[in-house]
Chains A and B, each alone.
Chain A
Amino acid sequence: MVFNIQRYCIHDGPGIRTIVFLKGCPLRCLWCSNPEGMDFLPEISYNKNICRKCGVCVSACPRGALSFAQARGIEIARDRCDFCGACAGVCPADALKIFGRSMSVTEILDTAAKDAAFYRRSGGGLTLSGGEPLAAENFTLALLKAAKEDYALDTAMETSFCAPEQTVDRIAPWVDHLMVDIKLMDPLRHRQAAGADNAVILRNIRRVAAERPAEKSFTIRFPLIPGLNDDERNFEEMARFITGLDRAVAFEVLPYHEFGRGKYANAGRAYPLAEKNIPPPGKEAVDAAEEYFRQKGVQVVHT
C-alpha cells in the first residue's frame, strides 16, 4: 500500500529521484514526520485550516461518516469510514484526503519510470521509503527486483532495519543505496522513544556491514533531536558502534524538524512531542554534532 509518490527528490540517494512511500511501520518514533505512514491500513486526513466549510463532503459520504459542525468544520467518525474517497473527490479545497492506495508493482514502476530521463543525467532513480518498506517484505522485494531487472532503475531504500534477519538478507542485495537510521543506542531509551527494542536493528546493521560489497553504498542516518538523543553518551556509543563495523559507512545527521506536526492533527492523532516543544537544532548544534563524529573517525556526509 502506497501513501505517496514524490518526484524530484534530491536528498534520499544520489541524483534526482522518485520516492515511493509504503504504508505501515513497526516503530512509533515520537518525532515521526510521516505519521500517515504508520498504520498498515488506509486512513482519512482532514485539514481544517484549508476547509471552506461548504459541507459538500457530508452529503457525498455513502456511510454517513461525516458531519458538519459549523465553526469546527467537519467531524469524522473514523470508525465508520471505509476510505472510499467520495468526500475527497468532491472537496473543492482538497482539505480531505485518503492516504493509502493499493498499487501494483507495474503501476508504481511506470510512474517512477516517467522521470527516467532525469535519472539518467543525474545518476538518480527510485527510492523506497515509508513507513517501513521492509514491513511489506514480499511486495518490496518484487518491486525492487522488477525495478532492477525490468526497468533498469537505480534503487535506494530508507529503512529502520527493524525487521527479521532473513527479510533484510533477501532485500538488501537489490538495493544500490541503503540508508538506515540509528536513533538511540540505549535499548531502554530506544524502546521509550521509538516503541521497540533496537537490538534487532543494530544486529542487522552489523551483519549487513560485514556482508555488503564496498561498491554498494551504505549510509547510517541519525535524526538529531535536542533533549532526546543529543547527549554525549549516545554520541559516544554510536560513534563506537559505527567505527566498529566491518566496512566503512557514510554517516549523515538529519536535524529534527516539525514539518510533520500538522499531519497529526489532520489524521486525528496527538503530536507526541507537543508538550516538549523541541526547537529544531540550529546550525551550530548540527555542525558540533558532525564535528564530534568526524573527530571519532566517522565519515560524515551531507546530502
Chain B
Amino acid sequence: MTERVKRLRDKALSAGPFLCRERGKIITESYKATAGEPRVIRRALALRDILSKMSVFVDEDELIVGNHASRINGAPLYPEFSMDFLVQELDRFATRPYDNFDVSEETKQVIRDIAPFWRGQTHEDLVVSVTRRALPEDVLPAWEEGPFRLNDILYNGVRKSAGDGHIIPDYFRLMRIGVPGVMEEARGALKHLDYQYDTEAFKKKLFLEAVLISFQAVADWFRRFAGEAQKAAAAAQPENVNSLNETARICCSLAERPPRNFREAIQLTTFLHVLLHIESNGHSISLGRIDQYLYPFYEQDINSGVLASDQALELIDCMYIKISKLNKARPWPETRNKSGAPMFMTVTLAGQTREGADASNPLTKLFLTALSDTRLPQPTPIVRVASSTPQDLLVYASQALLEHGGGLPAFFSDRTIIESLTRMGISLQDAREYAIGGCSEAVIPGKSLSFTGGDCYFNFVKLLELILHEGKNPRTGLRVRPCKALEEYACIEDLLAEYKKELAYYLGLVVQLTGITSWADGELNPTPFTSGIMAYRIALGKDISGGGGPNAAFSHTILQGHGTGDVSNALYAIDRLVFKNKELTLRRFVEILDANWESEQGKSLKARVRKIPKYGNDIDEVDEYAVRVSNIFADEAEKYTPYRGGKFGISLQGLTANVPEGETTGATPDGRISGEALSDNISPHAGTDLNGPTATLKSVSKVDHSRFVNGNILNLRFHPSALSTTHGDFDVLRGRRFADMIQTYLVDLKGNQVQFNIVSAAALRQAQAKPEENRDLIVKVAGYSAYFASLDKSLQDQIIERTEHTL
C-alpha cells in the first residue's frame, strides 16, 4: 500500500455517515418544474438536474474520482421512493444503535420542506395503496399487521423504499464504445423508428430521448470533474499536480470517446458505478467480471511499458476506497435485515471464459492483493471456482482472506451456477459469462435485468410454527386459513404434505406481492441511464423497468427462503420423538413449545432435543429434511412466472433477517427458544455443527444447489490458525489444504457458495467488550462484510456462536 493509498484510506475511514440533502432538494425542484412531462423524460431531466447541480469533489490525493453525495460517506435522499421514513425517523437517525447518520439542521429543514410535495406520490405510497386494494380480503389483515410482513412468513418490505438496483451493466460494451457510443446508438435507433406501423414508436421515441438527455448529462458531469481536478491541481502540493492534471484530461476524454488505457477504463468503471447509485437508490449494483473487461487495457499498457503492475494496484486500491463509502439510508426495520451499511457491490473474479478455459489472469491477483491492501468491508470481491481454476490462485485468494481478515473474498461454484443458468434456458457460452450480483445472485452482465422484484423473504421456520398451531399465528392470534388438527398427523410424511400445501399457498401470494413492486417501478421510476448501459434496450426502445425483450430470458426475480437449518432440525426432532419413538404426542410437544420449554418436562425435553443429531454434521437422517424442504420450495417456485417474465430466482438465504425473523418466531421443536435467532442462510444453526468443516460442507452439499440460481450462502468460521503458522504468518501448506477443501465443495460436491470468517471467538468477544479499540474489525455477515462494531448485539452474538473450526 502506497502512502497515497494510506492517506486516502484514513480519510475515508474517518468520514462519518450523514444524510446528504442535495439530491433530495434538487429532484424535488426538478419534478416541480417538469410537471406534465412524460414520466421517462421527467426522470432523465431529474438526472440531468442532479448531475449539473450536485457537488462534485476531487481530493488532491485521489487518482480515481466520482461521488454521489456532497462528501465522503454521505447517504443521498431519494424522496421519489419513500418520504415517510425520512420524516418519521428524522430525529432518530443520529441515535440509532448502529448504522446511524448525522443529520444537520439544514438537512432536517429540507426534508420537512419537501415532504408535502411527495405526499401520496412516492413508490412506497403506490405500493401500499395498490397492495391494500389488490390483496385478498382474508389475507390483508395479516399483511397490514406487519406491515409488509405477511403473517411473519413473507417479508416484502425491502423494495418499498428502495429502487431496483440489483443489476450488472454491460461493462464490456461500455469499455468498447464509451459514453458517446451509447448516444450514437440511441441516435441511430431514433432514425430507424417506424412511425407508421409500430404502435409503440411514440413510447420508444420518448425512451430514446430520455437516454440521450441522460448520457449528455453524464458527459457534462465528467467535465465538471475535469474542472474540479484542474482547480485542485492549482492548489496542490507539487508532487500531485501532474496526476491531477492527468485526471482532468481523463475526465474530459471520457466525455468524448471510449477509454484508451487502463486508468481511463477503471475511471469509467467507477463513474458508471457511482452514477447507477445516483439515478436510482437500488443496491446490489455490482461490477461484473472486472478482471476480464479491464484486462485488455492492462495487458496493452503493461506490454507497451506505460504501466507497471504496482501502479495498476494503486489504481485498484483507489477505486476500492472510492466506492467503499457509497452509502444509503434505509428505514430502521430494513436496516436491521441488512445491518452494517452494506451496498452489496460485488466484484467477480476468475472462473471460465466463454469457451470454458480458465479465465484467471494477472489482474485477478491484483484485485485480490488490493483486498489485503485496503482491508475494507466493501466492495465484495468473489472468486469463481471451476475445476480449471489453478490451486495457486485459490491459495493466493486464501492468503487475501487471511490478510483482509474480514471474510473477503467469497467463493462460488462455476459448475453448479452454470448448470443452474443453462437450466433456465441460457446458452452454455452465455452462462459461462455469469457474474455475481449483490450477495450471491448469478446474472449475465448486461443481459439479465434487475433480479429484484419485490425481494420477498420466506421464513420456513415460521411456516412450520403456523402448521403446528393449526393455522394460527401464535404471535398475532390471526388465522389466515386453517391447517389440519395435530391429531390428524400419523407420520412425518403427513406433516410434510401439509407443509408443501401451505408453502404453495404462500408462494402464490409472493407472485402478487413481487408483481406489485415490479409494476410500480415501471410506472413511477424508469431508469433511462441504467437502461442505456444494458444490452438490447436501445434497439428495443424500452426502459428496463418495464421488463421484457430479449433480456427476459436471462432474468429472474429473487425469492429467498431462509431457516433451512432450523426447519430441518425441527422436522427431524418431531419425526424421531413423536412419530418414531412415540415419546410424546405432537400436541404435548406443541404445548411444551408454547410454554417456551420452561416446564419441568420442557426442560428435560430440551436437553433431550439438544443431544439428537442436527443438520450440518453429515448425518443423512437429518440432512434429508434440508433436501426435502428445499426441493418443495424449488418445485413450487418453478411453477410460477414473475411479473417481469423469466423465472423466480430462488435462493436459500435471508442475509441477517434471521435475527429479526427469529424474534417473531416462537419456540420450535429443534430446541430454539422463542425469539432466538434462526439459522442463518443455508448454514447450520450457530454452534451445532461439531464434526468439522468437511462434515458441514458435506451436509450442505446434499441440497441440489443447481436449482437455486440466486445462491445459497454458507457461512463458516475458522480460527486464524487454520491459515497461519503459530507465529501468525500465512502458511502455504495450510492454504493449499484450504484451497482443496473449497474446490472439493464447489466443484466435486457441487456446492453453490462458501464464505469464511477467519477470526477467533476470543477476538470477537474482545471486540464486543471494547468496540472502541476494535473499530476496524470486519466480519463476513451474509453476502457482505461489515464492521463488527456496527452490528446489532444479537447479530454479533450469533456470529460469535458460529462454530469455530480449527486444525
In this complex, the member of B607, B737, B744, B805 whose beta carbon has the largest number of chain A beta carbons within 10 angstroms is: B737
Cα A10 to Cα B741 in complex, Å, equals 11
Distance in Å from the Cβ of A42 to the closest Cβ of chain B?
A: 19
Contacts of B610 in A (CB 8 A): 92
Residues 117 to 158 of chain A near chain B (Cβ within 8 Å): 117-118, 120-122, 124
Distance in Å from the Cβ of B807 to the closest Cβ of chain A?
A: 6
Cα A197 to Cα B162 in complex, Å, equals 76
Contacts of B727 in A (CB 8 A): 283
With known contacts A92-B607, A121-B744, A16–B737 Cβ distance under 8 A: yes
Stretch of B70-78, B424-432, B639-647, B688-696 that contacts chain A: B688-696
Distance in Å from the Cβ of B700 to the closest Cβ of chain A?
A: 13
Contact B607 A115 (CB under 8 A): no
Contacts of B698 in A (CB 8 A): 114-115
Q: Is A241 an interface residue (CB 8 A)?
A: no
Residue of B nearest to A114 (CB): B618
Contact B607 A56 (CB under 8 A): yes
Stretch of A1-9, A164-172, A212-220, A226-234 that contacts chain B: A1-9
Contact B748 A10 (CB under 8 A): no
Contacts of A7 in B (CB 8 A): 691-695
Q: Is B740 an interface residue (CB 8 A)?
A: yes
Residues 79 to 117 of chain A near chain B (Cβ within 8 Å): 89-90, 92, 114-115, 117
Interface of A is mostly: mixed
Cα A120 to Cα B740 in complex, Å, equals 10
With known contacts A114-B698, A302-B733, A8–B744 Cβ distance under 8 A: no
Q: Is B133 an interface residue (CB 8 A)?
A: no
Contacts of A115 in B (CB 8 A): 694, 698
**The one of A11, A118, A120, A283 that contacts B807, using a Cβ cutoff of 8 Å:** A11
Cα A8 to Cα B805 in complex, Å, equals 9
Contacts of A16 in B (CB 8 A): 694, 737, 740-741, 744
With known contacts A15-B740, A121-B748, A122-B737, A10–B694 Cβ distance under 8 A: no
Contact B744 A117 (CB under 8 A): yes
Interface size on A, residues (CB 8 A): 24
Number of residue pairs A-B, CB distance < 8 angstroms: 65
Contact A122 B740 (CB under 8 A): yes
Residues 713-734 of chain B: 1 if any A CB is under 8 Å from the residue's CB, otherwise 0? 0000000000000110000011
Distance in Å from the Cβ of A98 to the closest Cβ of chain B?
A: 13
Contact-residue bracket for chain B: 20 to 34
**The one of B733, B743, B744 that contacts A10, using a Cβ cutoff of 8 Å:** B733
Distance in Å from the Cβ of A268 to the closest Cβ of chain B?
A: 24
Distance in Å from the Cβ of B494 to the closest Cβ of chain A?
A: 30
Contacts of B693 in A (CB 8 A): 7-8
Distance in Å from the Cβ of A61 to the closest Cβ of chain B?
A: 15
Contact B694 A8 (CB under 8 A): yes
Distance in Å from the Cβ of A33 to the closest Cβ of chain B?
A: 14
Contacts of A90 in B (CB 8 A): 604, 607-608, 611
Residues 694 to 711 of chain B near chain A (Cβ within 8 Å): 694-695, 698
Distance in Å from the Cβ of B439 to the closest Cβ of chain A?
A: 26
A–B Cβ pairs within 8 angstroms, 21 of them: A6-B692, A7-B694, A7-B695, A11-B807, A16-B740, A16-B741, A89-B611, A90-B604, A90-B608, A92-B610, A114-B698, A115-B694, A118-B694, A118-B740, A118-B741, A122-B736, A122-B737, A124-B740, A255-B726, A283-B726, A283-B727
A residues neighboring B (CB under 8 Å): 6-11, 15-16, 56, 89-90, 92, 114-115, 117-118, 120-122, 124, 255, 283, 302-303
B residues neighboring A (CB under 8 Å): 604, 607-608, 610-611, 618, 691-695, 698, 726-727, 733-734, 736-737, 740-741, 743-744, 747-749, 805, 807
Query: With A7-B692, A302-B733 given, can you name 19 additional A-B contacts, CB distance below 8 Å?
Result: A6-B692, A7-B695, A8-B805, A15-B740, A16-B694, A56-B604, A56-B607, A90-B604, A114-B695, A115-B698, A117-B744, A117-B748, A117-B749, A118-B740, A118-B741, A255-B726, A283-B726, A283-B727, A303-B733
